[in-house]
Amino acid sequence: MSVAECTIATCRESFPSLRRTLSGRPLAFFDGPGGTQVPQPVIAAVSDYYTSCNGGSNGKFITSQESDGLIHETRTALAAFLGARSWREISLGANLTSMAFSLSRAMARELMDGDEIVITQLDHEANRGPWLALTEQGVVVKEVNMLPGGTLDPEDMARKINPRTRLVAIGHSSSALGTVNDLALARKLSGQVGAWLVVDAAHAAPHFSLDVEAMDADFLLCSAGKFYGPQAGVLYCRPGLLNQLRPSRLRTQEAKAPFRFETGAQNHAALAGVLAGLRWLAGLSEGATLRARLRSTMAAVAERERQLANQALEQLRGIAGVSLWGPGPSANRAPTVALTVAGHPAGEVARRLGERGVLVGDGDFHSARAVELLGLEAQGGLVRAGISIYTTAEEVHRLCEGVAAIARG
Ligand SMILES: Cc1ncc(COP(=O)(O)O)c(C=O)c1O
């Protein structure tokens, strides 16, 4: 049974938090881009870990050995989720941002005065700030321009990536506008000059079937709290590459990849939850391997979420006073809808929708550069409605009705 066949009602039954109501109406969670709800097996796995298996790493006793086994299984499942060849390519950490900073500090040791890094105007600060920090040591950071429609300018990308470029940092898709970037172009241009490609896949991981090998990424970052797990940072690194880098690490910690990049203890209970979340996703499909099941689920999720996003975009487009930001309905966008309502600051729209049990975000969502360029800072940025695996057409309708009521006055 795939997620397309399994009724959405069955899928939703897995999420206890969806039963919560406000003034008699169920909450409609459109806050997935900031962090999704988690299915019951994730909650059970975190609880079971503390109930029966709580232990540090590298011990000779049962709870430690089980904990190490569980982390190994989590890495293996994450490798399957991302299309990596092996668990050795998967490093773990607290969250994406802290891992991006660790990566930039490691890269700093490989770069010289005058070397260049290319970032984008559209990216989340997590994939900009760590690279901008390297300007302090003489690295030149250039930004690929964003066009008014919320897509990156391909000609500008071609101009900015040059033989001095050592690294290109780009998002797979924008968690503010839903734009899917042209990674093939970024790979082609960075490859031509021998630059590393760092992909922020935080917003892509919950919505698409990812394949790091097809992307040919050197590094890919994501964040498990966005794909139905507890919070944890994940870094994929091309085989062999991590062992050549010099990340900040204790000499007492394992020096080989993937451990080479990790500092201190991991959050074992959270990682137990990440594993359970991936198994839950895989369990929505059939297939001979975990990779095949995850691919099948994520392909079905992408299609279903695309239809719901298009429904939202079409309905919202017809409401007077509502402006939509980012790409219009298309096969190639993430199911995240960004809007503003004339005369109503984003925070007010989010608060009033929240009172109706429709939970949306407001602000810049750390894509501050993009929001600034769109000229939306003064009105509190954007209202963001993210579609997730548990979103229904009825919830999308409620969202649009709520926005229409606010726009009417
Ligand atoms: C596109 C994108 N990149 C990076 C991040 C940062 O992830 P984390 O909170 O795990 O540091 C987010 C978080 O929302 C995001 O949406």
Pocket lining: 32 vs ligand 1, CB cutoff 6 Å = no
> Distance from the CA of 198 to the center of ligand 1, in angstroms?
14
Identify whether the C-beta of residue 361 lies closer than 8 Å to the C-beta of residue 384: yes
Nearest-CA residue for ligand 1 atom 13 is: 34
Pocket lining: 230 vs ligand 1, CB cutoff 6 Å = no
Q: What's the confidence (pLDDT) of residue 2?
A: 54
Q: What's the confidence (pLDDT) of residue 4?
A: 53
Q: Which residues of the chain have pLDDT under 70?
A: 1-6
Q: Return d(Cα 130, Cα 141) in angstroms, integer.
A: 11
Pocket lining: 306 vs ligand 1, CB cutoff 6 Å = no
Q: What's the confidence (pLDDT) of residue 1?
A: 46
Identify whether the C-beta of residue 92 lies closer than 8 Å to the C-beta of residue 266: yes
Helix, coil or strand: residue 138: coil
Closest CA to 126 of 77, 195, 172, 82: 172
Atom of ligand 1 nearest to the CA of 100: 11
Burial category of 189 from C-beta neighbours within 10 Å (exposed 0-12, middle 13-18, buried 19 and up): buried
Q: What's the confidence (pLDDT) of residue 213?
A: 97
Nearest-CA residue for ligand 1 atom 8 is: 96
What is the pTM (predicted TM-score) of this model? 0.97
> Distance from the CA of 234 to the center of ligand 1, in angstroms?
11
Q: How many CB atoms within 10 Å of residue 197? A: 22
> Distance from the CA of 98 to the center of ligand 1, in angstroms?
10
**Per-residue pLDDT tens digits for 244-275:** 999 999 999 999 999 999 999 999 999 999 99
**Per-residue pLDDT tens digits for 325-336:** 999 998 899 999
Q: Which two tokens stand for residue 61?
A: 């006793």
Pairing mode of beta strands 140-144, 116-120: parallel
Long-range contacts, 16-19 (Cβ 8 Å, 24+): 16/40, 16/43, 18/390
Q: Return d(Cα 74, Cα 90) in angstroms, integer.
A: 9
Q: What's the confidence (pLDDT) of residue 330?
A: 86
Edge-to-edge strand order for the sheet containing 361-363?
A: 322-325, 336-341, 382-386, 361-363
Q: Return d(Cα 406, Cα 409) in angstroms, integer.
A: 5
